[in-house]
Amino acid sequence: MLKEVFATRYITPLREGGSLPGLVEADDLGLYVMKFTGAGQGRKTLVAEVVCAGLARRLGLRVPGLVTVGLDPVLGLGEPDQEVQGLLRASGGLNLGMDFLSGAIGFDPLAFAVGPEEAGRILWFDALVGNVDRSWRNPNLLMWHGDLWLIDHGATMIWHHNWPGAEVSAARPYDASEHVLAPFAPDVAGAAAELAPLVTGDLLTEVTADIPEEWLAGEPGFGTPDALRRAYAALLLARAAVIHERIQGLETRQGDK
């Protein structure tokens, strides 16, 4: 289970984020980037964040730690910004928080170099979860204390938006042609050999156990939250074994850098 904290102060919206994540302080005095159940795609975005961050961390990739953040919507009453107020009002209950990496800067592929091994591991991971949000336009990678950190996994696992068609959707290839790390000669075969064997049924059971029950309840076609957890795990398990053969769009980029 993720650690649970309660929001005590809304500090500021992070305007560059499309879903209007906010910086909040919590009752453990931690600062968190908070993502709200009342935003855009709602709780499925948050489920994707929990699954991807849990998986990435267990594969040795750097991701900010996660917590659940309890929110009393009255926290929004004093907000002058109408949009923020609406978001807080719509997000009472459990939301998601990420450790705030203070002083982190956005990764710029023209300013920083990434080695083929690290590029390969990140790209393989993105292919596994079907991440379309790691492009050169919007890398969702932060540089912090000289290292790369992965953020923003809300737009992954597109298959969970349509479970009846999920198996077909999850079997699709991954187009890496616009991936921000494509120009760094990513060693995808090496990454697959190292990481795919780590993605076991047990590991995925651990990862999906962290999804809060209330973000899973009531999904049509699934009797219990655990049945839905098993569906997330089964698709990722099947995809992990084959995805490195289904990454497209890299060959044209190898000579770029």
Ligand X SMILES: Nc1ncnc2c1ncn2[C@@H]1O[C@H](COP(=O)(O)OP(=O)(O)OP(=O)(O)O)[C@@H](O)[C@H]1O
Rule CB under 6 A: which residues touch ligand X?
14, 16-19, 21, 33, 64, 98-101, 104, 106, 133, 138, 140, 151-152, 154
- Calpha distance 148→156 (Å, rounded): 19
Q: For the chain, what percentages of helix, strand and coil (3-state, to nearest 5) are there? A: 40, 20, 40
Least distance in Å: CB of 64 to Mg ion?
13
When binding is defined by CB under 5 A, the residue of 121, 152, 157, 174 that contacts Mg ion is 152
Nearer to Mg ion, 95 or 140 (CB): 140
Q: Does 68 bind Mg ion (CB under 5 A)?
A: no
Tell me the C-alpha distance between 155 and 230, whole Å: 20
**Smallest distance, Mg ion to C-beta of residue 14, A:** 9
Task: Report yes or no: 45 and 37 within 8 Å, Cβ to Cβ.
Answer: no
Residue 160 or 229 having the CB closest to ligand X: 160
> 87: helix, coil or strand?
helix
Q: Which does 131 bind (CB under 5 to 8 A by kind): ligand X, Mg ion, none?
A: none
Residue with smaller CB distance to ligand X, 19 or 208:
19
Q: In DSSP terms, which residues pair with 10 in a beta bridge?
A: 24
Paired tokens of 224: 């219990």
Do residues 184 and 119 lie in contact, with contact meaning Cβ atoms separated by under 8 Å? Answer: yes
Closest CB to ligand X among 31 and 171? 31
- Binds Mg ion (CB under 5 A): choice among 37, 140, 156, 208: 140
CB of 120 to ligand X, least distance (A): 23
Q: Of 132 and 234, which has the nearer Cβ to Mg ion?
A: 132
Nearer to ligand X, 82 or 102 (CB): 102
Question: Measured from the CB of residue 41, what is the shortest distance to ligand X in angstroms?
Answer: 10
For residues 164 and 219, the answer to whether their CB atoms sit within 8 Å is no
Contact 101, 161 (CB under 8 A): no
Name the residue number minimizing CB distance to ligand X: 17
CB of 206 to Mg ion, least distance (A): 26
Range list of H helices, 130-218? 166-170, 188-195, 201-209
Minimal distance in Å, beta carbon 106 to ligand X? 6
- Any residues with CB less than 8 A from the CB of 44 and at least 6 apart, and which? 160, 161, 215
Residues that bind Mg ion (CB under 5 A): 140, 152
